[in-house]
Structure 1
Amino acid sequence: MTVHRSTDVVVVGGGQAGLAAGYHLRRLGVDFVVLDAQAEPGGAWQHTWDSLHLFSPAAYSSLPGRLMPVQPGQECPDAAHVVAYLRDYEKRYELDVRRPVRVLGVHRDGELLRVDTDSGIWRARAVISATGTWWRPFLPAVPGRGVFGGQHLHTAEYRRPRDFAGRRVIVVGGGNSGAQIAADLAYDTELLTWVTTRPPRFLADDIDGRALFDVATARRRALDAGRADTGGVASLGDIVAVPPVREARDRGLLKASPMFTRLVPGGVEWSDGTRAEADAIIWCTGFRPALSHLAPLGLRGRRGRIATSGTAVVDEPRLHLLGYGDWTGPASATLIGVGRPARDAARKVAELVR
């Protein structure tokens, strides 16, 4: 027998964005539920590599209403500290999070939206989708992928350098994850090759998450006011020089090679015929928004993007997207940045359901 439930708002996803939305909905007195596919609190942070640290101190990495406590001995907290903070945040504000509940699809159902899950059906007057991107790793199409005889991993699957001790490893990607994982591996692997599509662009050493949030916010304000695009964070560079990256870079251990042309059975090959042998390739090639649960609504445009005005979906204003990147709010995929768009989404949803 299928269980049917109803509420004013269903929030899909119980990571940082979903919790921020829940905080603001609770303050506004809106009836809501958060559906989270994970078995434990902490969102994607509980699945990251062991050495991952935030870009900023705890005070600048907080969700609305609750400063993140300082982690003893760490200027910038590690992922385990973030998980503990999110668990405490959820408990402190008594957010109604149901887990593990996997959302299968969101459908129009007259004046309501129907949310089908693996544990029953919810009907709501509005939905906030906050599933993030971690669950949808992106792997580029590269010739020869099927012939390479070694191990393929994505950022989402990497955990620790000792798993690759004495092995030949190629790390692909010139962003933060590529630089951080290459720095992580630089001391233990037999041979490390770091490959990027363009020369690495390190931000100034004194730039951290606080400055990046300010830059992203300034860009959004300029665009909203009809002024020239400032370029945002991308104008500063691609890689934040966190201490491990800075140390490996300064020791000459982070020397990038250009992107190879194809994979071969024993490794990779460049256009001039040069080859590098490898036992494993780690693809630090980013993620895409995890939005398959919204497919029944038919909202994607020709380029796959769902059109939004702020966080509200243009073609379905009962639906809000939160935490997927700058297109759903400046720096909305970060701990410090998601608070403002979460507040705006909650306010608009509250107006809709009252």
Structure 2
Amino acid sequence: MEFLDVAVIGGGQSGLAAAYALHKQGLTPVVLEASEKAAGSRPHYYDSLTLFSPARYSSLPGLPFGGDPDRYPHRDEVVAYRLRYANHLDAEIRTRHRVSHVRTQPGGFLLTLADGSELAARAVVAATGGFGSPNLPALPGLDSFTGTVLHVTDYRTPELFAEQRVIVVGAGNSAVQVATELAAHARVSLASRAPVKWFKQRPLGGRDLHFWLKVTGLDIAPLGRFQRSPTTMAVIDNGRYKAALSAGAPDRRPIFTRIEGSKVTWQDGVVEDVDAIVLATGYRPDLGYLAPLGALGGQSRVLHRDGTSLTHPGLAYVGLEWQRSLSSASLRGVGRDAHRIARRMAAHLARS
């Protein structure tokens, strides 16, 4: 059986940053990526997706994003950057290596792959991030809906919904962005339990919000241990999205009370036929392969402190939402967290 130094599970931005940081600590990471290329889930996002942070704040450690630093890169640019970064890494990346289970064994961990093969590792970094498992809320009657239901992870372009009645559920960046895009082709309502919260993309003299997060230190403030459950973040807006909602394209409504067949009942008692419901309701960490370890708590809650497992000293995480700070699950933040866990892992392995 092959024995690895450190197995990094996931080849998206979190896994790539982890491999870079581990190599800097003198360790030999091997990245195990389930898909055919080291680009994470980004290639599967909707076509019009753009980052809310400028290129200057969207780099992984050791390789600048490149190009105009003040532009907001679109989806395909980010995919190309990640692939370029993977080629830049001094680490082995094995694609089409999906990890099914991780268990302990003497000297470390035993990893079982989807094809039934096994690998041993002294340590494991779980870097499948916080966006691998779509969150599907228990909305009343949703299972009986006779129209189209899809999570935003399966949404690509608005043309397929032309002239339809569509509800987008959610109040975060993706929900607002997708609902506004759809509203040019369909009649759309944005439904959420709470009103949309807004952040200006360029407040206080025209500098991007991320400039202020950096200079104030808010971007790296250690808030992770106080923020254990996902919350709806405020929508970062250049004025376009708030104006669209104000104009009713899309309109915003409190979440509906029930669904029966194709009919949706709103809180004011109005009943109408709906063609499609898009769930922009976030994600959960894709960490089911750790269940045999007992590393997860109730409702698959990750048991960690700043990315270091509370149950297994040789296990660490990179890319969890609010892992340590506001930016932990972002391109601009995973490098800092990866550096932190790499130092701790190197110290642990030196003692073991």
TM-score by length of 2: 0.89
Judge conservation of contact 1:134–1:156 (CA < 8 Å) in 2: no
Q: How many percent of aligned residue pairs carry the same amino acid?
A: 36
The aligned counterpart of 2:332 is 336
Q: How far off is 1:94 after superposition?
A: 3.5
Q: Deviations over 1:132-191 (max 9, x none)?
A: 2332111111221232110000011010111111211111101111101001111111x1
- SS of the aligned residue for 2:249 comes to coil
Q: How far off is 1:205 after superposition?
A: 4.1
- One-letter amino acid of the structure 2 residue matched with residue 204 of structure 1: K
- SS of the aligned residue for 1:174 comes to coil
Judge conservation of contact 2:202–2:238 (CA < 8 Å) in 1: no
Judge conservation of contact 1:8–1:353 (CA < 8 Å) in 2: no
Q: Which moves more between the two structures, 274-283 or 207-216? A: 207-216
Q: How far off is 1:244 after superposition?
A: 5.0
**Aligned CA-pair RMSD:** 2.7
Query: For 2:258 and 2:120, how far apart are their aligned partners in 1?
Result: 49
Match for residue 307 of structure 1 among 303, 308, 313: 303
Counting only pairs closer than 5 Å after superposition, residues 113-192 of structure 1 correspond to structure 2 as 113-119=109-115, 120-189=117-186, 191-192=187-188
Query: For 1:213 and 1:14, how far apart are their aligned partners in 2?
Result: 27
The aligned counterpart of 1:5 is 2
Query: Would you say how many aligned residue pairs link Structure 1 and Structure 2?
Result: 343
Judge conservation of contact 1:323–1:329 (CA < 8 Å) in 2: no
Find out whether 1:279 has 2:270 as its counterpart.
no
Match for residue 14 of structure 1 among 11, 16, 33: 11
Judge conservation of contact 1:143–1:261 (CA < 8 Å) in 2: yes
Q: How far off is 1:60 after superposition?
A: 0.8
Q: Which moves more between the two structures, 205-214 or 293-302? A: 205-214
- SS of the aligned residue for 1:326 comes to coil
Structure 1 residues 45 and 71: CA distance shift in structure 2, 3 A: farther
Q: How far off is 1:106 after superposition?
A: 0.7
Structure 1 residues 265 and 61: CA distance shift in structure 2, 3 A: same
Structure 1 residues 332 and 219: CA distance shift in structure 2, 3 A: closer
The aligned counterpart of 1:66 is 63
Q: How far off is 1:331 after superposition?
A: 1.6
Match for residue 46 of structure 1 among 43, 46, 61: 43
Counting only pairs closer than 5 Å after superposition, residues 149-298 of structure 1 correspond to structure 2 as 149-189=146-186, 191-206=187-202, 210=210, 214=214, 218=218, 221=221, 238-242=234-238, 244-246=240-242, 248-249=244-245, 251-298=247-294
Q: How far off is 1:71 after superposition?
A: 6.1
Find out whether 1:85 has 2:81 as its counterpart.
yes
- SS of the aligned residue for 1:66 comes to coil
Judge conservation of contact 1:71–1:81 (CA < 8 Å) in 2: no
- SS of the aligned residue for 2:34 comes to coil
Judge conservation of contact 2:38–2:83 (CA < 8 Å) in 1: yes
Q: How far off is 1:193 after superposition?
A: 1.4
Query: For 1:266 and 1:197, how far apart are their aligned partners in 2?
Result: 21
- One-letter amino acid of the structure 2 residue matched with residue 210 of structure 1: H
Match for residue 351 of structure 1 among 327, 341, 347: 347
- SS of the aligned residue for 1:276 comes to strand
Judge conservation of contact 2:10–2:128 (CA < 8 Å) in 1: yes
Structure 1 residues 238 and 329: CA distance shift in structure 2, 3 A: closer
Q: Which moves more between the two structures, 214-223 or 108-117? A: 214-223
Structure 1 residues 328 and 113: CA distance shift in structure 2, 3 A: farther
Query: For 1:148 and 1:336, how far apart are their aligned partners in 2?
Result: 40
Query: For 2:41 and 2:216, how far apart are their aligned partners in 1?
Result: 22
The aligned counterpart of 1:101 is 97
Q: How far off is 1:112 after superposition?
A: 1.2
Q: Which runs of 5+ in 2 are unaligned?
A: none
Q: Which runs of 5+ in 1 are unaligned?
A: none
Query: For 1:330 and 1:113, how far apart are their aligned partners in 2?
Result: 31
Q: How far off is 1:337 after superposition?
A: 0.8
